[in-house]
């Protein structure tokens, strides 16, 4: 009897793990579906994100003649509404772009900056040398995502703010059926209930919305319309000036003044000058070659390069021969990422404030030196940063302190969102926007309808450290995504929410594709591992020496062997460790394969 599977809009509804056999068919010719969801394939364009509504918004823009950059802005504007616990207009962001016309990869750094009044001394004096964890405006940074929209549209886009923001404005005004995850996040959020401006938006009528209720945010719709109105008023000056007028209304106009006034009234440190001085920026990405694939990351104020450090270390192992998720493979991988994260702690920060010796950090010789520290039979319990500057032309040691805190209960995970778009010309956008923790600071800004990110709780309050707080400085964010080239051809974009774990999730997905030959959906769905044996990004930056976790789909024998090697093992549920989306481009045929994570509400389209 044939088992049927139905695919609707990219979701496999029934027939999971089905075996399809025609009458009289030889068993060796069976077509097996071994994933929870199918690979979504197409010839021309594809989009994937953490929510169906955002993916559909990107799809509509592409079908209306827009390119990947237009679609990314439209998709993220909607994503900030339907995935409001994780991102929004108040987000920070990092973006990797492949410009098909110029044949170049570009990084956009839209991380937020600390207010000018935010100093280590201020927090020592007023908050007893602590940072508020994911709460209050004292944990916030300047929103960067609106400037990221502007940079994408101005440099590469073809559409106006009026066109790309219309889907989000429509949904904010007319409402959308809220899903179980967002409804649950609102109902269980303690911090939203603390602030009257937040209660107004998220508890209309005094009650949390229930799954299936129409959720509206008319205040956010009015804010987005203000951008569109500014653009239309400046239309006679040309497209570029009109786009800039929309952007400037947010950072230098009445929206900025409203944010500043509200911040001061609420005891925050943001002032008008912090918004007026802000600018997202273009960066040259950093990259390494991994088994013939060129892997790119954002270079500044991001943990992304730690994946490159780990890849260089792992390149010295025959991972395929070790077998996927074997004891040897997981042990080597965990020990490699521990070393990479130790270098994150010592070296990575805002490159405008601290020099980062990438010449050494990304060198194969340095990776060989680091690889030699891995004991194949024993887990390390220490934080062991290297001396990367020895592998540079300078060789001068950096006086770069770091500290280890074993106290507190800092969380290594976090709430972020993700959007990936590839268009018919093979432009690629890998867009990671975030509020950092559920509903960011928790404070809806005045009557503007959005919340600031709380990335400010990532700073160190120890002067001299790479990630030490300073006015105008960007925190070293966990935000990161991956863009991969194969020769001169775009090959893959992939990103994942999840705080410090983001690097582990994108790393494993890439290894699953490159080393183990999995298709994109298999790579995403494979059982995952992670570690917390390094300082957490949020304050107070707790490290849990030797601790690691696996989904319980990893075989029991492997788990026992990991414990015997000294790993302090935590067992997670079978489909609980994270979320991810990716798009792969076949270098030979050009076929697009999009995959999304069944652990969450992620959704892909391709045609």
pLDDT tens per residue across span 209-233: 999 999 999 999 999 999 999 999 9
Give Cα separations from 455 to 93, 131, 234, 437 (angstroms): 11, 11, 33, 8
pLDDT at 578: 87
Mode of pairing for the β-strands spanning 293-297 and 286-290: antiparallel
Domains along the chain?
Answer: 6-34 (no CATH), 84-282+418-481 (no CATH), 288-394+402-411+482-572 (1.10.246.130)
For the chain, give the percent of residues with pLDDT over 90. 91
Over residues 130-154, mean pLDDT: 97
The CA-CA-CA angle for residues 55, 58, 64, to 5°, reads 140
For residue 55, the tally of other CB atoms under 10 A from its CB is: 31
- Residue 336 class from Cβ within 10 Å (0-12 exposed, 13-18 middle, 19+ buried)? buried
Which residues 6+ apart lie within 8 Å of 14 measured at CB? Answer: 4, 5, 6
Task: Please state which of the ranges 90-104, 267-281, 382-396, 521-535 shows the lowest mean pLDDT.
Answer: 382-396
Is residue 454 a contact partner of residue 140, using CB atoms and an 8 Å limit? Answer: yes
* The residue to which tokens 């070296």 are assigned: 347
Closest listed residue to residue 2, CA positions, set 18, 27, 20: 20
pLDDT at 410: 82
Closest listed residue to residue 136, CA positions, set 437, 478, 433, 410: 437
* Strand, coil or helix: 547: strand
Q: Which long-range contacts (CB under 8 A, 24 or more apart) does 575-578 make?
A: 575/551, 575/599, 576/551, 577/501, 577/505, 577/528, 577/529, 577/530, 577/549, 577/551, 578/496, 578/497, 578/498, 578/501, 578/505, 578/528
What whole-number distance in Å separates Cα of residue 194 and Cα of residue 392? 51
pLDDT at 290: 98
> How many CA atoms are closer than 13 Å to the CA of 399, on its beta-carbon side?
2
Task: Categorize the per-residue pLDDT at 399 as very low, low, confident or very high, splitting at 50, 70 and 90.
Answer: confident
Closest listed residue to residue 287, CA positions, set 219, 215, 348, 362: 362
Residue 252, phi-psi category: left (phi > 0), alpha (psi -120 to 50), beta (remainder): alpha
Over residues 50-72, mean pLDDT: 98
Task: Categorize the per-residue pLDDT at 15 as very low, low, confident or very high, splitting at 50, 70 and 90.
Answer: very low
CA 54 distance to own-chain centroid: 15
Q: Is the pTM of this model over 0.85?
A: yes
Q: For the sheet containing 592-596, what is the strand order? A: 40-42, 592-596, 581-585, 489-495, 481-486, 293-297, 286-290
Q: Round the average pLDDT of the chain to a whole number and report it.
A: 93
Is residue 356 a contact partner of residue 315, using CB atoms and an 8 Å limit? Answer: no
| Residue 296 backbone dihedrals phi, psi, to 5 degrees | -110, 145
Q: What radius of gyration do the chain's Cα atoms show?
A: 23
Q: Does residue 32 carry a pLDDT above 80?
A: no
Which residues 6+ apart lie within 8 Å of 1 measured at CB? Answer: none
* Strand, coil or helix: 551: strand
Mode of pairing for the β-strands spanning 568-572 and 547-551: parallel
Helical H segments across 24-144, by residue range? 52-63, 68-82, 120-126
pLDDT at 23: 35
| Strand partners of residue 295 | 288, 484
224's tokens? 């987005």
| Residue 420 backbone dihedrals phi, psi, to 5 degrees | -130, 135
E strand or H helix that includes residue 505: helix 502-514
Closest listed residue to residue 526, CA positions, set 499, 554, 549, 501: 554
Task: Please state which of the ranges 164-178, 281-295, 392-406 shows the lowest mean pLDDT.
Answer: 392-406
pLDDT at 221: 98
* The residue to which tokens 């059926």 are assigned: 177
What whole-number distance in Å separates Cα of residue 100 and Cα of residue 429? 11
Q: What is the DSSP letter of 97?
A: E
Q: Does residue 366 carry a pLDDT above 70?
A: yes
């Amino acid at each position: 009897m044939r088992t049927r599977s139905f695919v609707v809009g990219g979701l496999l509804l029934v027939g999971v793990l089905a075996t399809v056999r025609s009458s009289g068919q030889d068993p060796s010719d069976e077509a097996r579906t071994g994933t929870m969801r199918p690979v979504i394939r197409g010839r021309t364009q594809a989009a994937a994100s953490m929510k169906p509504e955002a993916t559909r918004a990107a799809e509509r823009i592409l079908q209306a003649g827009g390119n990947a950059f237009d679609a990314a802005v439209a998709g993220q504007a909607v994503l900030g509404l339907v995935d409001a616990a994780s991102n929004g207009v108040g987000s920070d962001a990092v973006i990797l772009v492949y410009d098909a016309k110029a044949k170049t990869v570009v990084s956009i750094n839209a991380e937020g900056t600390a207010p000018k009044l935010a100093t280590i001394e201020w927090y020592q004096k007023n908050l007893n040398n602590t940072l508020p964890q994911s709460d209050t405006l004292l944990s916030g940074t300047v929103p960067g995502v609106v400037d990221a929209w502007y940079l994408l549209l101005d440099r590469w886009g073809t559409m106006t703010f009026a066109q790309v923001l219309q889907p989000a404005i429509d949904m904010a005004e007319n409402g959308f059926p809220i899903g179980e995850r967002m409804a649950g996040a609102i109902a269980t959020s303690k911090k939203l209930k603390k602030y009257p401006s937040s209660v107004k938006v998220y508890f209309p009528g005094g009650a949390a919305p229930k799954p299936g209720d129409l959720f509206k945010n008319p205040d956010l719709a009015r804010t987005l319309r203000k951008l569109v109105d500014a653009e239309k008023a400046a239309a006679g000056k040309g497209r570029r000036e009109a786009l800039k007028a929309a952007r400037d209304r947010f950072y230098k106009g009445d929206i900025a003044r409203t944010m500043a006034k509200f911040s001061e009234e609420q005891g925050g440190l943001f002032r008008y000058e912090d918004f007026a001085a802000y600018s997202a920026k273009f960066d040259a990405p950093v990259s390494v070659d991994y088994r013939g694939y060129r892997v790119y990351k954002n270079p500044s104020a991001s943990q992304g390069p730690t994946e490159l450090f780990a890849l260089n270390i792992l390149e010295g192992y025959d991972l395929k021969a070790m077998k996927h998720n074997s004891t040897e493979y997981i042990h080597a991988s965990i020990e490699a990422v521990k070393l990479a994260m130790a270098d994150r702690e010592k070296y990575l920060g805002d490159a405008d404030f601290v020099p980062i010796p990438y010449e050494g950090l990304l060198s194969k010789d340095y990776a060989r030196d680091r690889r030699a520290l891995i004991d194949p039979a024993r887990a390390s319990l220490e934080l062991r940063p290297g001396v990367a500057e020895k592998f540079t032309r300078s060789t001068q040691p950096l006086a770069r302190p770091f500290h280890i805190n074993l106290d507190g209960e800092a969380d290594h995970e976090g709430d972020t969102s993700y959007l990936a778009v590839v268009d018919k010309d093979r432009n690629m956008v890998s867009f990671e926007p975030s509020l950092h923790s559920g509903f960011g600071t928790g404070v809806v800004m005045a009557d503007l309808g959005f919340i600031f990110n709380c990335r400010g709780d990532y700073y160190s309050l120890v002067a001299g450290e790479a990630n030490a707080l300073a006015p105008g400085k960007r925190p070293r964010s966990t935000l990161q995504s991956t863009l991969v080239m194969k020769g001169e051809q775009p090959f893959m974009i992939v990103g994942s929410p999840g705080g410090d774990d983001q690097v582990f999730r994108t790393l494993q997905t890439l290894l699953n594709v490159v080393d183990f030959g999995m298709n994109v959906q298999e790579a995403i769905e494979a059982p995952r591992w992670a570690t917390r044996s390094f300082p957490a990004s949020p304050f107070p930056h707790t490290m849990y020496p030797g601790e690691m976790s696996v989904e319980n789909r990893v075989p029991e024998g492997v788990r026992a062997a990991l414990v015997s090697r000294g790993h302090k093992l935590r067992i997670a549920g079978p489909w609980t460790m994270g979320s991810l989306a990716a798009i792969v481009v076949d270098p030979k045929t050009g076929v697009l394969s999009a995959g999304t994570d069944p652990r969450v509400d992620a959704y892909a389209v391709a045609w």
